[in-house]
Amino acid sequence: MPVEVLEEGSGRIAHVRMSGRLSKEDYQRYLSELERLIRQHGKIRVLAEIDDYRGLEMGAWWEDTRFALHHARDIERVAVVGGPQWWEAMGKFASALGVIQVRRFEQGQEAEARQWIESTGA
């Protein structure tokens, strides 16, 4: 399965594992899990571990954009472990807008990412 979502922190943290190329259907399942957690818990945080990322199908990009526009204020933080280097610049841009705090961590920095996603400080 290219996407797996696990609930942690009493459901307020979505621990997401992604690998390979994600289809629109994969992404829709992932986003529906995030929406369910948002309905249950209000604001959530996302810890995303990315392995062997090979991109998103065009339909998945659209789903991601639609979700971000609708739920940007429902996600407090996103910690991304792995994935392309350019995601770091995207995370800094999103954080600068003040909507969602996003940080990218290198593979092997899972402990640091978890510490940041669970912390109360910036």
H-helix or E-strand spanning residue 6: strand 3-8
CATH 3.10.129.10 fits 3-118, yes or no: no
Three-state SS at 118: helix
Please give the pLDDT value at position 59: 78
Residue 62 has pLDDT above 70, yes or no: yes
Domain coordinates of the chain in residue numbers?
3-118
Q: For the CA atoms of the chain, what is the radius of gyration?
A: 13
Residue 15 has pLDDT above 90, yes or no: yes
- pTM for the model stands at 0.87
Q: To the nearest whole number, what is the mean pLDDT of the chain?
A: 86
Give the mean pLDDT of 52-81: 84
Please list the alpha-helical segments (H only) found in 6-109. Answer: 24-41, 58-71, 86-96
Residue 110 has pLDDT above 90, yes or no: yes
* Calpha distance 14→89 (Å, rounded): 22
Whether residue 25 contacts residue 2, with contact meaning beta carbons closer than 8 Å, is answered with no
Please give the pLDDT value at position 16: 93
Give the mean pLDDT of 13-32: 89
